Amino acid sequence: MDHHWDGYDSIGGSVPLDLVNTVSWRRDPARREDRLSDPARLSEWVVLVGASSERLEISEAVLERVKAFRETLYRVLVSDPPDLTTLRKPLIEAYRHASLPSSLPLRWVVPLDDGAALPHFLALATEDLLRSEALDRVRECEGPGCGWVFTDHTRNRSRRWCSSADCGNRARAKRHYAKTRV
């Protein structure tokens, strides 16, 4: 993988949140960067986040479906109240391609044996996230323009930044600068 992924960290806490975070500076149109610029980048991301151990052959059509799903998921996560009906079609399609392993706990799976399965895999991973207890810990970074999402694992649920080294550091530097200018 090349420098295209520099500055990207899997900080979301789950594959669906890391998918949302493939757009850097989402809330700042001047700086916005979509790291899923082509099918090869999506294939690299699948390996980067550990969804597959090898790169998948991904078509342009699959890339567009994944990017559309990513934007739907972002809106679901940050809207109050969320429009969950937007997930209906991707989930129904995912269940059509899923199988049930013959073991408990009961859980539908979509093996990532080819790129065409990726949208279905992501839909089921999203459903797992949205059904989990971790959902009430999902936050959006408070950094101006950032828009990254993450699972807050702090004991007192006080995490505010995607990364203390990135947006958190900017906020601290801004506060320090303001104090020294007074």
Structure tokens at 175: 């506060």
Write down the pLDDT at residue 15: 97
Q: How many domains does the chain have?
A: 1
Question: Given a cut of 70, is residue 3 above it in pLDDT?
Answer: no
Mean pLDDT on 24-40: 95
Q: Is residue 47 part of a domain?
A: yes
Q: Is residue 9 part of a domain?
A: no
Say which CATH number the domain at 146 has. 1.10.3300.10
Q: Which residues constitute the domain of residue 43?
A: 15-181
Q: Is residue 5 part of a domain?
A: no
Write down the pLDDT at residue 181: 74
Closest CA to 9 of 104, 146, 116: 146
Closest CA to 48 of 84, 17, 15: 15
pLDDT band at 177 (very low <50, low <70, confident <90, very high): low
Question: Given a cut of 70, is residue 176 above it in pLDDT?
Answer: no
Q: Is residue 30 part of a domain?
A: yes
pLDDT digits (tens, 9 = 90+) for 78-110: 999 999 999 999 999 999 999 999 999 889 999
Which amino acid makes up residue 140? E
Write down the pLDDT at residue 165: 63
Write down the pLDDT at residue 163: 77
Distance between CA atoms of 162 and 27, rounded to whole angstroms? 14
Q: Is residue 3 part of a domain?
A: no
Q: Is residue 4 part of a domain?
A: no
Question: Given a cut of 90, is residue 182 above it in pLDDT?
Answer: no
* Entry field: residues in the chain: 182
Q: Is residue 141 part of a domain?
A: yes
Mean pLDDT on 123-138: 96
User: What is this structure's pTM?
Assistant: 0.90
Write down the pLDDT at residue 104: 92
Which amino acid makes up residue 176? H
Q: Is residue 6 part of a domain?
A: no
